[in-house]
Homo-oligomer: A and B are copies of this chain.
Amino acid sequence: MTRDRFATRAAIINSAAAIVASHGIAHLGVNALAVAAGCDKVLIYRYFGGLDGVLEALGTERMLWPRVELSVEENGGDGSLAEAVQSLLLEEWAALSGGALMLQSAVSELEAATNSLAPATAEQREEQHAKLIAGLKTEHRVPPYVDLAALIELLSAALTMFALRAAQSSPDRRGAAPSPRFDPAAPAGWRRIEKLLGAMTRALLDADGH
């Protein structure tokens, strides 16, 4: 026993994040969290006041939505607005697909039960997107008839949905996938999505398209 308050506090938060990421927020209980953190459950009540406090700390001290940076056009794009939007979305998709905690917080945002992760996730996402859109608008000329915020929000929502479905179905049908009609998680399906994203952003955003 280290007998260090901040260390055990961090252990509790880390274990909570691990449990939420692997088993979902519904399976986060005081007892299981205590044994995972290697401490007594009474410390959870002492330091956080209960499970809600742990979730609240998770929401403020952890990244629930991927942080995507507006790269200074180092990517292989042609520098157009369409390219920039597409690469941002793909970056977001990659981060989302790689982070189990982000995915679980995204689905927790959809559960009717009142948990403290949902508002934090939504807020982080909105803040991220607002910053990206502002950056895009300064670096590119966006056609006045295009609602860039709505476009990014819609495409991001679709990609989030795909990532969630993929994360749910991948542990099960590992390998023996009967390959349904359209599966964005499979390489072939994902290539179709990439092509579509390119076509859509180009058709909407490129100046010569209008």
By a beta-carbon cutoff of 8 Å, the part of chain A in contact with chain B is 22-24, 26-27, 104, 107, 109-114, 118, 122, 126, 129-130, 145-147, 149-151, 153-155, 157-158, 160-162, 164-165, 167-169, 171-172, 180-182, 184, 189, 192-193, 195-196, 199-200, 203-204, 209
Contact = CB atoms under 8 A, between A and B. Distances in A.
A110 B150 contact: no
Among A165, A168, A195, chain B packs the most CB atoms within 10 A around the CB of A168
Given A149-B182, A181-B130, A204-B203, A114 B172 contact: yes
16 contacts: A24-B113, A26-B26, A107-B107, A110-B168, A111-B168, A118-B168, A122-B180, A126-B181, A129-B182, A130-B181, A150-B193, A150-B195, A153-B184, A157-B157, A199-B204, A200-B203
Given A111-B107, A158-B154, A162-B157, A181 B129 contact: yes
A154 B114 contact: no
B151 A196 contact: yes
Nearest to A194: B150
A69 B112 CA distance: 29
Nearest to A205: B203
Contacts of A165: 109-110, 122
